[in-house]
Amino acid sequence: MHRSAPRLTRILACAAVPVMLVVAGCSSDSDSGSKKDSGSSSAASPDAKTSPTVAAARFAKLSDPCKSISAKTIAKLVPQTKVKAGTAGKSTDVANRRSCSWNGLDDNGVKGSQYRWLDVSFLRYDSESSLGVSGEQRAKDNYAKEIAKAKATEGAKSVRTSPATGVGEAGTAIAYNLVKTGEDFTYATIVSRTGNVVVTLTYNGTGYAGAKSPASADLMKGAVAAAKEAVASVAVANK
């Protein structure tokens, strides 16, 4: 009986205090469980995820492709240009895809005629934060694809590639021959990249009625000159 007296005294003491104090001072097991639950909840909360940081695209817009090459250059490369202002290509996304073309036939009667075609296209790539890929990297990837596409032109013969020095941050020249409408056409294509924009320019031509086809070297020289102007127009448009 004497051994149970202290225990009885503690029970009576707890019964004499308010309920809130009983819970705090007399229910040590409940308090311990609460602390465990709190710790478990904190441990279960995942850290907030952050999106990868990528550089913003350098160029926010494209230049007008029909104005990207000077009228003087067009007149030189495409004699007797049918539409001097150029013919804009159709696009549902002019912020990222634009193109323009010119063509003309220089008729010299019995001496034959010379036909020329010039077109330029622009592809712009935005940075993708969700994928952690910059616009410039996307342009680099697609620059390689555009080169492969030009080299794989259906019917192209004697395909040759070389660096296009001084055209953008990266430039490649692709030359080949192609038979169209029974005539031998000579092609010069320049694929270049400036920042997050890929510029592709194609210049081709042939001779009619006995006239000789243009020399590949001459077409390539003209294509490089025009491509430099087109690439430079992108930076001007974003000033």
Backbone φ and ψ of 130, nearest 5° = -65, -25
Distance CA(41)–CA(29), nearest Å, equals 19
User: What one-letter code names the amino acid at 120?
Assistant: V
Distance CA(226)–CA(214), nearest Å, equals 17
Tens-digit pLDDT profile for residues 91-127 = 999 999 999 999 999 998 888 999 999 999 999 999 9
User: Chain-wide mean pLDDT for the chain?
Assistant: 85
Q: Could you tell me which CATH number the domain at 65-237 has? A: 3.40.1000
- State the span(s) of the chain assigned CATH 3.40.1000: 65-237
Tens-digit pLDDT profile for residues 39-91 = 444 444 444 455 568 899 999 999 999 999 999 999 999 999 999 999 999 99
Tens-digit pLDDT profile for residues 170-187 = 999 999 999 998 899 999
Backbone φ and ψ of 161, nearest 5° = -125, 150
Whether the pTM exceeds 0.85: the reply is no
Characterise 65 by phi-psi region: left (phi > 0), alpha (psi -120 to 50), beta (else). Answer: alpha
Tens-digit pLDDT profile for residues 220-239 = 999 999 999 999 999 999 99
- Residue 195: partners with Cβ closer than 8 Å, 6 or more residues away: 57, 58, 59, 135, 136, 139, 169, 234
Question: Are the C-beta atoms of residues 188 and 120 closer than 8 Å to each other?
Answer: no
Question: Are the C-beta atoms of residues 68 and 79 closer than 8 Å to each other?
Answer: no
Residue 28 has pLDDT above 70, yes or no: no
